[in-house]
Structure 1
Amino acid sequence: MNTDSELLAAIAPTSGPTREVHDPATGELVGTVPVEGAAAIDAAVATAKGAQPGWAALAHDQRSAYLLAAADAVHAAAEPLARLLSREQGKPLNGPNARFEVGACEVWLRAAATTVLEPEVLVDDGESHAELHYRPIGVVGAIGPWNWPMMISVWQIAPSLRMGNTVVIKPSEHTPLSVLALVHVINSALPDGVLIAVSGDREAGARLSGHPDIGKVMFTGSTATGKAIIRSSADTVKRLTLELGGNDAGIVLPDVDPTAIAEDLFWGAFINTGQTCAALKRLYVHEDVYDAVCAALTDYARNVPMGVGLDEQNVLGPLQNRQQYDIVASLVEDARAAGARILLGGDPDADAPGNFYPATLVADIADDNPLVQQEQFGPALPIIRYATIDEAVAMANGVDVGLGASVWSADKDAARAVAQRLQSGTVWINSHGGLNPMVPFGGAKQSGYGMEFGVEGLKAVGSPQVVSS
């Protein structure tokens, strides 16, 4: 595929009800997608179930070879995939955005293909021998989000296929074209029936999470939807991996150089225009450096270009959908009304096309303000002043989610000591949100359960079996 138009033609619906998808930056029509329901899920699951025994019968190195071929296919189609992603999701081509996301798809495919998972010898004492193996589960149901639709789909697809499962994936209703195109490209390298995408509505998602022939559900999205999936999976006791909402805290210790950390703080918070589960969403800054950190962040943020994603100079884009735009705008206005100080932004052009909300920094805000306590999932960062480490840790831990967190300090030992007190699945030191395909990732508290990436991620999409002799 040489262009995004060719990709769209390859995945265009041929019959049945359809829905238009529009560019959140311009409002222009991007393409149309099928609107499929429970019947389409049933058909896809039946096909995947039929293909699974043959796929599982292949040796690990044979399945790995297929995944490496799929990574090659993604690499070859990288530019049209990135352009389609930019048009549908809104993220710019450059910066940590569309081209970055497609590149990550290739990286995670290769990582899943080449990660070794050997049987673990549990007992070997001369009298008995026990080993722990991981077998395929069967059919995995994957339900993805709209913020990183391609990359997170690969996080679900690649390890599942590597372990001998087949996959039925339902993309978000906001970003179906990206995932349909990605699956089309990946399937050019795979046997028929092992990976099937269904562009559906809520009925399709509910059927997928409750289908009796689905052995595991992988979901990335809101905590509320995750709870609904837990309930619908109960009757068939499905395995689950849930990466749910986050409201990540960062704690800045008083020994930092504010200018030196400003760029990394900004991108920790504003990557993908703030639409990232593990983005920095609450920044706690010691009173000794509070004003200097606010000033350094403001100086950096005011020079970051925002605009239409296909314009090469932009690195911040629109909110993907108007509903999310309205949430961010409401939270900022409520903070302003409560007396918070807007350092930058907070003044969207209501007459401009697209869902553009400016990069916004909010200072002198109370910890109990909704902008701090609720996940804003957009380009608005509250900056909260603190006096003692105990106070900062208590505020950071004071929400019911715990996906990621970060500590910023010139003294890494001091930062690690604070990190060990934080209730989150990952804590970064002097950065925020960076992921590695070999480093396990998952949440604490109501940010979900189950691990992704590396050896632990492969285990999560396998069924453990102990063989004793």
Structure 2
Amino acid sequence: MTSTSSPPAEMTVLSPHDGTPVGTLPCAGEEEVRGAIATARAAAPDWARTSPEERGRLVRAAADALAQHAEEVAALNTRETGKLAHEALGGVLAGVGTLHQYAELGPVHRGHALRGGALASDYTVAEPRGVVAAITPWNDPVAVAAGLLGAALVTGNTVVHKPSERCPHTGARLGEILAAALPDGVLVTVTGGPETGRLLTDQADLDVLAHVGSTETGRAIARAALDTGAHVIRENGGNDPLVVDDDVDPAWAAEQAAIGAFTNAGQICTSVERIYVHRAVAEPFLHALAAEARQRNREAALAPLVDRRMRDAVHGHVRAALQDGATALEGGEVPEGAGSFYPATVLRDCTDAMQVMTEETFGPVAPVRVVDSFAEGLHLASRDRYGLAATVLTGRIAHAQRAIAELPAGTVKVNNVFGGAPGGAAQPRRDSGAGFGYGPELLDEMTQVKVVHVEMPSSR
């Protein structure tokens, strides 16, 4: 991939609440990007030789430092992205927990003994890959970054981190706090927009490109790695379905759908993006879902979308669906006033020809299609180019097992849209990415395996 334009000198972030400036930061150009990589490369040998226990101790200290500044970082996140204050703080604390988790897992990450000759030793050794470029998103900037940074650091890699241009102040402050607890050069942060990102991923002196964000950007990163040979880890967009069976309580199902579609104003990679509901419970389900949306709108319980560009994209999907025959039971109109707020929206009579069903809308929109059977809903849910996550609501174990077997997604959830145990990891499918992005398996992604064979020398 070849960069087509140089970064601007600086970027200004506007508040999604009222459009006022949050602040201005510089955009790293080619000299700054190359310098950041050179700094991380120079620090890599000593960091790789540092004992796993010591690396774990230092990452734990970085996590503790972040915990001390949690409210400050959360406030920055709220100002830049509009995330509700308690959710922003929750994201920072989740990041602290993730760093602590990797600080514990890193020292016990090990190779495997192999079965060889009786007088020989055969085993594998996990070695750091080198320098990791981590490109992270704005929708949960601390929690997501903590996963990639923590796993890379405890396995002996050094990191150049580029946070999203939609929350550069949050990312820069996160980098300052963590880097202060680590040896010089082990973690370097660069800020900038897409041009800076392209400059970073184009560089040949990188060993890993780790990305969480849009499918379009993920594809560009994967193409760049074809030239540079970097290992790619990417979690990209999703168009996650929810299938509602005919034997569940429609009010409970609507509550689950609302949580999945409206939490963080729908700006979560695993948000519910399309709903297939059995005709037998469709009407009470739609009535209850519209009531859930109406309550959120009436109580102003939604955060704004990250900016007006995102709101324009979300409303574009909704407007096109309404023009093609969908009906808005709640929401669907751009509110007056400053900022980038968008109402919780419920659409009925949707079809799979509509963009709101085929693409990731990434806003507080719940498009619904009525189906005549669970099998039909499962079939339609499976027919998509994404494969991040999927949820089914059913009281039948046979239907749950069939969904688990047939849904082509990295994560399948039954009867809880955001359920899951700590430390879980999944491999996204199709256009949603590749590689493990979380959990203990991310330590494997950040290392490369060396096979060792040792024998006694010949006595002849």
Whether these two folds match at TM > 0.5 is yes
Provide structure 1 residue ranges, at least 5 long, that are not aligned to the other structure. Answer: 1-15, 307-312
Task: Find the counterpart in structure 2 of residue 295 from structure 1.
Answer: 287
User: Matches of residues 93-242 of structure 1 in structure 2 within 5 Å?
Assistant: 93-94=85-86, 97-115=87-105, 116-124=108-116, 126=118, 128-242=120-234
Shift of 1:454: 2.4
Q: Report what 2:3 is aligned to.
A: none
Helix, strand or coil for the counterpart of 2:276? strand
Shift of 1:402: 0.5
Distance in 1 between residues matched to 2:45 and 2:325, nearest whole Å: 62
8 Å contact kept, 1:280–1:433: no
Q: State the secondary structure of the residue aligned to 1:254.
A: coil
Farther off after superposition, 76-85 or 144-153: 144-153
Query: Structure 2 residue aligned with 1:86, among 48, 67, 78?
Result: 78
The one-letter amino acid of 2:389's match is G
Change (3 A) 1:314 1:437: farther
Query: Counterpart amino acid of 1:79?
Result: E
CA shift for structure 1 position 17: 3.4
Cα distance in structure 2, aligned partners of 1:73 and 1:298: 43
Instruction: Describe the shift of the 1:422–1:299 C-alpha distance in structure 2 as closer, same or farther (beyond 3 A).
Output: same
SS in 1 for 2:100: helix
Match of 1:49?
41
**Closer, same or farther: CA 258–127 of 1 in aligned 2, 3 Å:** farther
CA deviation digits over 1:329-361, x for unaligned, max 9? 111111111121111111222x31100110001
Task: Give 1:404's aligned residue.
Answer: 389
Residue 399 (structure 2) aligns with: 414
Determine the C-alpha separation between the residues in 2 that align with 1:287 and 1:34: 54
Match of 2:54 in 1: 62
Q: Distance in 2 between matches of 1:394 and 1:406?
A: 13
> In the TM superposition, what are the counterparts of 1:10-21 in structure 2 within 5 Å?
17-21=9-13
Provide the secondary structure at the position in 2 that maps to 1:468. Answer: strand
**CA–CA distance in 2 between the matches of 1:114 and 1:177?**
29
Shift of 1:135: 0.4
Amino acid at match of 1:295: H
SS for the counterpart of 1:454 is coil
CA contact (8 A) 2:427 2:435 kept: yes
CA distance in 2, matches of 1:162, 1:363: 48
Quickly say closer, same or farther: Cα 1:30–1:436, change in 2 above 3 A: farther
Deviation of residue 264 (structure 1)?
A: 2.6
> Which of structure 1's runs of 4+ aligned residues deviate more than 3 A?
433-437
What CA deviation, in whole Å up to 9, does each residue of 1:9-62 have, x standing for no partner?
Answer: xxxxxxx93322111111122111111112111000000011111111111111
Q: Secondary structure at the match of 2:452?
A: strand
Instruction: Select the residue among 306, 323, 328 that pairs with 1:320.
Output: 306
Residue 122 of structure 1: how far off its partner (Å) = 2.8
Q: Distance in 2 between matches of 1:362 and 1:221?
A: 26
Deviation at 1:265, TM superposition (A): 2.2
2:409 match = 424
Residues 1:329 and 2:329 aligned together: no
Per the TM alignment, residue 436 of structure 1 is displaced from its structure 2 partner at its CA by 4.7
Whole-Å separation in 1 of the counterparts to 2:264 and 2:292: 17
> CA–CA distance in 2 between the matches of 1:314 and 1:39?
45
Where do 5+ consecutive residues of structure 2 fail to align? 1-7, 455-460
Instruction: Look up the SS of the partner of 1:361 in the other structure.
Output: strand
- Structure 1 residue 215: Cα displacement: 0.2
8 Å Cα contact 2:302-2:343 kept in structure 1: no
Give the distance between the partners of 2:257 and 2:343, measured in 1 at CA. Answer: 17
Number of aligned residue pairs:
445
Which residue pairs with 1:257 in the alignment? 249
TM-superposition CA deviations, 1:263-300 (whole Å, max 9, x none): 33211122211111111101111111111111222222
The whole-number CA distance in structure 1 between the counterparts of 2:133 and 2:242 is: 34
**Residue of structure 2 in register with 1:266 after alignment:** 258
The answer to whether structure 1 residue 445 and structure 2 residue 430 are counterparts is yes
Alpha-carbon distance in 2 for matches of 1:397, 1:196:
41
Across the aligned residues of Structure 1 and Structure 2, the Cα RMSD in angstroms comes to 1.7
Alpha carbons 2:235, 2:437 under 8 Å: kept: no
User: Which residue is equivalent to 2:329?
Assistant: 343
1:434 and 1:198, CA in 2 relative to 1: closer, same or farther beyond 3 A? farther
Answer yes or no: is the 8 Å Cα contact 2:113–2:123 preserved in 1: yes
Q: Deviations over 1:84-104 (max 9, x none)?
A: 10010111112xx21111111
Distance 1:125 1:375 in 2: 54
Distance 1:300 1:202 in 2: 37
Tell me the CA shift for residue 438 of structure 1: 1.3
Q: What amino acid does structure 2 have at the position aligned with 1:98? A: A
Deviation per CA, 1:429-448, whole angstroms, max 9, x where unpaired? 11224455511133111111
1:468 Cα deviation from its structure 2 partner:
2.2
Aligned partners of 2:54, 2:309: CA distance in 1, in Å?
A: 44
Amino acid at match of 1:339: G
1:37 aligns with: 29
Please report how far the alpha carbon of residue 388 of structure 1 lies from its aligned counterpart in structure 2 after TM superposition. Answer: 2.2
1:66-113 superposed Cα distances (whole Å, 9 cap, x missing partner): 11111111111111111110010111112xx21111111101101111
String of CA shifts for 1:114-147, please: whole Å, max 9, x gaps: 1231221232562544222210010000111222
Deviation at 1:164, TM superposition (A): 0.2
Note if contact 1:407-1:419 (Cα within 8 Å) is conserved in structure 2. no
Aligned-residue sequence identity (percent) comes to 36
- The Cα of 1:413 is off from its aligned counterpart by 4.7
Matched, 1:372 2:357: yes
Task: Give the letter aligned to residue 370 of structure 1.
Answer: Q
Deviations 1:314-336 (CA, angstroms, capped at 9, x unpaired): 64211112221111111111111
Task: Quote the offset at 1:235 in angstroms.
Answer: 1.8
Q: Which moved more, 1:294-303 or 1:447-456?
A: 294-303
Matching residue of 1:456: 441
- What SS does the aligned partner of 1:417 have? helix
* TM-score, normalised via structure 2 length: 0.93
